[in-house]
Amino acid sequence: MPKPIRNLRWVIVGTMFLITAVNYLDRQCLSVAAPVISKEFGFSNTDYSRIVTAFLVAYTIMQLVAGVVVDKVGVRKGMAVFLSWWSISGALHAISNGLSTFVLFRFMLGMGEAGNWPTSAKAVSEWFPPRERGLAVGIFDSGSSLGGLLAPPLVAWLIATRSAFLLTGSLGFLLLLLWLWIYRRPEEHPRLSIEERQLIQTSSVQEQLPTTQTSRWAVLRRREVWGVTSGRFLSDCVWWFYVYWLPKYLFDQRGLSLSQIAAVSWMPFVTVDAGNLLGGWFSAFLMRRNWSMDASRKCLLRLGALGMLAGLPAALTHNAILSVMFISIATFSYGMWGTMMLTLPTDLFSPAHVGIVSGLSGTGAGLGGIAFTILTGIVVDRISYQPIFITAALLPLLGLLAVQLLIPKVRFLEGTQASQVA
């Protein structure tokens, strides 16, 4: 019999952290290379926004599809399919020769990468008790900042030969092997210790509820689903803006070279990582101090929305480094906010429905990102970046209002037994 792996659930989260890092590394290659590629092919800001929008359109469509798929085929198979698809799509960027091919391969990349978040959220709901879910989500989601952190120096070094796209694409297949080895459902895993199995079974919502209680589609009538979706619609676009436009902003507006961009653009990704981890840890800390799930989650959401107001001075200051510092405060705050928003579906619904709810909220996030990306390209070409920064700072407050109105209390919605699990 295979020897049990100690704290296996945290090893699985660590694997999802690495997969998420490669997910963001693949998408950030183009963002960091944008000044060079735009110059090589003569792309305008509007052209660049079309390339980014192609990714977001596919990402938006596939979020809901991916959620349904992973609820049907399971976490292990679902992640394997999505990871393989986006790795191939990322590598294909190396042969792009114009706007149409960049749009096509970007669309394909978005199709695959959409599956990472509903799949990972469902894995957390299967493996973790409620008190640990915020931290588990914070850990795997912080992989996005590691990918963003690695992209600038890596791409600055390799972009001349387009090798960056090939390298990041190949990393996905190495992680595919690790994923297929490490992941099974708790009840099927041969390396799960008796003690950890008992912990998971005691806390498992799935085992305490009849699976026929609420159908997959009927659950979408819950207003809480639309609270999560509208909250992400109004806030995730802020992160998309910083991810896709920061290198270009520093190049166009602040006059930094590619090497200078690589030297400072890592800062917002380190701070969002810190926000992810601190948000997850602090929410669990509050619950251990007898705060309710509702109070702990909403405390972090309020802090995150208020902190993203740092985008206002980021746009107004004349100092490039100071602007990056304010942006870093905003991304730190987004990290706290984003971790809680990704955790909410696991708090509100059983594992049988986490995929579809997470996917729908991801679709809302993508729609917001598409609209904001198109707006950014138009406004930057015709006016400047300043109105976009101001809008990005204020939108999360509207997102917070939507969450407060549509999710009056964060609690398990599908049964009284599971709602008593601490």
Per residue in 331-382, pLDDT (tens digit) is: 999 999 999 998 999 888 877 788 888 888 888 888 888 888 888 888 888 8
* Residue in 315, 311, 225 with CA at minimum distance from that of residue 268: 311
Would 208 be classed as within a structural domain?
A: no
221 burial type by CB count under 10 A (0-12 exposed, 13-18 middle, 19+ buried): exposed
Among 24-38, 295-309, 388-402, where is mean pLDDT lowest? 24-38
pLDDT above 90 (res 270):
no
3-state secondary structure at position 220: helix
* Residue in 261, 266, 264 with CA at minimum distance from that of residue 248: 261
Q: pLDDT-based confidence at 254, cuts 50/70/90?
A: confident
Would 420 be classed as within a structural domain?
A: no
Rounded mean pLDDT, 196-217: 57
Would 209 be classed as within a structural domain?
A: no
Would 210 be classed as within a structural domain?
A: no
User: For the domain that residue 17 is a member of, what is the CATH number?
Assistant: 1.20.1250.20
- Full-model pTM: 0.75
d(CA 129, CA 123): 12
Q: pLDDT-based confidence at 210, cuts 50/70/90?
A: very low
d(CA 242, CA 246): 5
Would 206 be classed as within a structural domain?
A: no
Rounded mean pLDDT, 393-407: 95
Range of the domain at 64: 8-201+222-409
Would 3 be classed as within a structural domain?
A: no
Residue pLDDT, tens place only, 25-72 = 887 777 777 777 777 788 887 888 788 888 888 988 888 888 888 888
Would 234 be classed as within a structural domain?
A: yes
- Determine the pLDDT at residue 334: 95
Q: Which residue has the higher pLDDT, 154 or 364?
A: 364
Tokens read off for 233: 């619609």
Q: Which residue has the higher pLDDT, 77 or 41?
A: 77
d(CA 52, CA 321): 26
Rounded mean pLDDT, 257-262: 73
Q: How many domains does the chain have?
A: 1
d(CA 418, CA 411): 10
Among 17-26, 193-202, 360-369, 377-386, where is mean pLDDT lowest? 193-202
Angle between the N-to-C axes of helices 116-127 and 8-41, in degrees from 0 to 180, rounded to the nearest 10: 170
Q: pLDDT-based confidence at 206, cuts 50/70/90?
A: very low
Percent of the chain exceeding pLDDT 70 equals 90
Would 319 be classed as within a structural domain?
A: yes
- Determine the pLDDT at residue 332: 94
pLDDT above 60 (res 93):
yes
d(CA 270, CA 260): 17
pLDDT above 70 (res 158):
no
- Determine the pLDDT at residue 253: 79
